[in-house]
Each structure stands twice: as structure tokens, then as C-alpha cells.
């Protein structure tokens, strides 16, 4: 007999307390995953670790696909539905960074522990968690460690999986280590781009108005900053890094800008991209420099409504945990799931600090409420309580 939503909510606090029994296993998985370097494009060792864990748990259809994703299926009792639970594998940290984790009674600290070693650890520990709680779903649970998520990876792992997946997906949950209370149900429009300026070898430095690549790039930036941008819905252009030149008195022959556009307004990403292309082409013609604009990653705005059943269910679950929702759009795996028409949520498991810094840390105690939240949402989806009527 399917659980009612009221009984699911009533089980959250008992499940949170019972989950203390998996503390050592979960934290061990998080720390071992965290100590394996996994910059974007170099996730193979982490994928091997999680698929080995899937094998130990006796899961089905364990595989590593051509994009390097690691997948397994926790079979349901009457598997007519498939629910995807995914977490990104890669981090922003290079292999050369010391990935040693340190643990106290209340925290774990180390590069990438919250983004996203804890999220991955929840995936590999989930089969044991459900076993200890005596929970078995009707639906298949597809567990997926996604590669090539960040930066130039441009969500390559989840894109490849969704392009090649043959199983119909009822819903998706993207798991992040931090922050508990996160409620993402829309994908924010985003474009990551680079503008490179280089001076041709035959450039006439003696001509009137001749200037180096840094000055030309500065003009491009100034013109981009002059583009009128409405504050509602929110839109931002973030200049992330500028590089160019070698010394005080040497004219720079090359310069590079990395920037990101974010917008919650539909169509704004395309509009701003076209404006910036116009600026770079006009500046190239006026300056006689060589200016190249390239897109590193791009995705459009879209998502679920605040009243969608999966969003309403998640809000009630957080309310039961006495956790205030942190509503924020996503530029991660969620955006691809929603783009394919799969109702999905991104959630966080615990509180953390210093994300993407060497001293990134997570709080241990809230994790078990975060896991109880994940289980309650899975139960709600499995029971058909998150289906649109």
C-alpha cells in the first residue's frame, strides 16, 4: 500500500535519528572520494571508486559510459517508473592540490568536500541507507555520477547520458553537498565566454592611435558595460579574469577576457550574446587587431513553476525539517533535466563554508536531516505524489 504524504512527512524525524547508524560509512565514503583528485575531464579514478561501491552493494546495470559517467540501478519492486538521482563528480581543484581531508567531531574540511564529495557519497551510501531503514521503492532508482559538469565541461556528462538513455525518467534529483535548504527548480540562463585579442605580426605600431592588446580589450569591456540591462528579472555580466602583457614597457600582443552572463529573463542570453559579438566584430574592424569571441558553455532559462507538485512536496519536507528554503536557479545538471521535460529538483544535504576554497568545510550533524529529506522526496515521487494531474 502506497504511503500517504502525511505518513511520509511523519517519518522524516524518525529517519533522521535512525540515520546516525550510517554516520561512519557515509563520512568514510565522503572522505575517500574527497581525497581522489577529480578536475573536470580527469574524473576516472573517482568513477572507478563509486562503481566499485555499486558492485559491493549488488546493484544492477553497473556501467561506465563513453562520457565517463558511472551508473547503476537499484531495482524497484514493480519497476514501471525510473527515478534519476545524480551528483556531479568533478571539482574545481587541480590534481596538484593537496586533497587531504581533516575531520573533527562536527566538521570535515578539505577541497571539494561540499562540492561535491558529500553529494557523491550520498549516492554510493544510499543503497545501504535504504536497507537499514527497511525502505524499498516500487520504482527503479538510477544512480548516476556525472562527469564533465563544471566550466569547459559544460555538463557534458549529463548531456551524454540523456542523449543516450533509453529508460523513461519519471523525475530527477540532483544532489549537492551544500547548502541544506537549497530548492532549485529552474535553470538560470547562462553563457560563459572568452574574448581574445591578438596583434598580427605585421601590425603597424607607428600608425596614429596604435595601441596594445590590453587597451583594445579594455575598450571592448567598456562597451559591454554600457549595454543597458534591466534589473528585473535579474541579469548579470560577470568579468571573471583578464590576462595580458608581460612587462611594464612592452606593448602587449595578446590579451584575454573570461566572463559569464547569467539571466532569469527568457531570451536575454541570446540577446546579450549577439550584442557582444557585434561589439567584438566592430572593434576588430576599427583596431585592425584580431579579436576572437568563443562560447565555453551556454544554456537557456527554463524550469518548473512554484506550484508544481514536486516543488510543493519539497517545500513541505523542508518545513517539516524546520529548514527555510533557499530558492535559487541552477546552472548544473538540473538545467539539462528540465530542458528535456523531466520534472526535477536540486537539493543540498548540509551547511558548509568556503565553497571552492582550499579550506572548504561541511557540518556533519545536519547531514542526516539532509538525507532524510532526500528519502522523503524519493518516497513522494515513487508514490506518484509529485505527478502533475
Q: What is the per-residue pLDDT across 68-113, written as a single tens digit (0 to 9) for each?
A: 999 999 999 987 899 999 999 999 999 999 999 999 989 999 999 9
Structural domain contains residue 250: yes
Residues 288 and 314 in one domain: no
Q: What is the DSSP letter of 153?
A: G
Angstrom distance (rounded) from CA 44 to CA 143: 17
User: Based on the domain organization, do 161 and 308 belong to the same domain?
Assistant: yes
Residues 100 and 218 both lie in one domain = no
* Count of H-run helices and E-run strands, the chain: 10, 18
Higher pLDDT, 25 or 232: 25
State how many domains the chain has.
2
Greater pLDDT, 300 or 87:
87
Question: 86 with 173: CB under 8 angstroms?
Answer: yes
164 shares its domain with 24: yes
Q: Are residues 281 and 318 in the same domain?
A: no
DSSP 39: B
**For residue 311, pLDDT beyond 60:** yes
CATH value at residue 218 = 3.30.70.360
| Nearest of 290, 285, 279 to residue 199 by alpha carbon | 290
Residue 388 included in any domain: no
Same domain, 141 and 232: no
Co-location of 68 and 151 in the same domain: yes
Q: What percent of the chain lies above the pLDDT cut of 70?
A: 97
- Are residues 145 and 115 both part of a single domain? yes
Closest listed residue to residue 276, CA positions, set 171, 181, 191, 212: 191
Contacts of 228-234 with CB under 8 Å at 24 or more apart are 229/272, 230/265, 233/263, 233/264, 233/265, 233/268, 234/262, 234/263, 234/264, 234/265
Domain boundary among 282, 299, 316: 299
Q: Which residue has better confidence, 146 or 287?
A: 146
Spatial neighbors of 310 by CB under 8 A, at least 6 apart, are 171, 185, 304, 343, 344, 345, 377, 380, 381, 386
My answer on whether 181 and 263 are in the same domain is no
Amino acid at each position: 500500500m502506497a504511503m500517504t504524504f502525511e505518513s511520509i512527512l511523519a517519518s522524516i524525524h524518525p529517519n533522521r535519528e535512525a540515520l546516525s547508524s550510517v554516520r561512519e560509512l557515509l563520512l568514510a565514503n565522503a572522505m575517500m572520494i574527497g581525497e581522489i583528485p577529480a578536475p573536470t575531464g580527469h574524473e576516472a579514478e573517482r568513477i572507478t571508486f563509486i562503481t566499485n561501491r555499486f558492485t559491493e552493494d549488488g546493484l544492477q546495470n553497473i556501467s561506465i559510459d563513453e562520457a565517463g559517467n558511472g551508473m547503476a540501478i537499484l531495482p524497484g519492486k514493480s519497476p514501471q517508473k525510473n527515478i534519476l538521482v545524480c551528483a556531479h563528480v568533478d571539482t574545481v581543484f587541480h590534481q596538484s592540490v593537496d586533497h587531504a581531508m581533516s575531520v573533527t567531531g562536527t566538521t570535515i574540511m578539505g577541497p571539494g568536500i561540499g562540492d561535491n564529495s558529500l553529494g557523491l557519497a550520498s549516492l554510493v551510501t544510499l543503497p545501504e541507507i535504504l536497507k537499514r531503514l527497511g525502505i524499498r521503492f516500487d520504482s527503479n532508482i538510477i544512480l548516476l555520477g556525472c562527469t564533465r559538469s563544471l566550466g569547459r565541461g559544460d555538463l557534458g556528462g549529463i548531456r551524454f547520458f540523456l542523449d543516450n538513455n533509453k529508460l523513461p525518467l519519471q523525475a530527477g534529483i540532483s544532489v549537492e553537498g551544500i547548502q541544506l535548504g537549497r530548492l532549485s527548480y529552474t535553470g538560470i540562463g547562462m553563457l560563459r565566454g572568452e574574448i581574445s585579442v591578438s596583434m598580427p605580426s605585421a601590425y603597424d605600431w607607428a600608425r596614429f592611435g596604435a595601441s596594445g592588446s590590453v587597451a583594445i580589450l579594455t575598450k571592448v569591456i567598456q562597451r559591454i558595460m554600457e549595454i543597458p540591462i534591466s534589473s528585473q528579472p535579474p541579469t548579470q555580466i560577470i568579468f571573471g579574469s583578464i590576462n595580458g602583457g608581460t612587462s611594464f614597457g612592452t606593448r602587449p600582443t595578446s590579451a584575454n577576457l573570461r566572463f559569464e552572463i547569467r539571466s532569469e529573463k527568457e531570451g536575454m542570453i541570446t540577446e546579450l550574446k549577439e550584442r557582444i559579438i557585434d561589439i567584438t566584430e566592430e572593434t576588430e574592424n576599427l583596431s585592425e587587431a584580431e579579436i576572437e569571441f568563443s562560447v565555453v558553455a551556454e544554456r537557456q532559462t527554463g524550469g518548473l513553476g512554484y506550484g508544481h507538485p514536486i516543488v510543493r512536496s519539497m517545500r513541505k519536507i523542508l518545513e517539516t525539517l524546520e529548514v527555510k528554503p533557499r530558492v535559487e536557479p541552477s546552472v548544473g545538471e538540473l538545467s539539462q533535466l528540465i530542458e528535456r521535460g523531466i520534472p526535477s529538483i536540486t537539493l543540498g544535504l548540509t551547511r558548509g563554508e568556503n565553497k571552492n576554497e582550499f579550506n572548504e568545510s561541511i557540518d556533519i550533524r545536519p547531514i542526516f536531516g539532509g538525507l532524510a529529506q532526500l528519502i522523503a522526496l524519493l518516497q513522494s515521487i515513487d508514490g506518484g505524489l509529485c505527478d502533475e494531474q
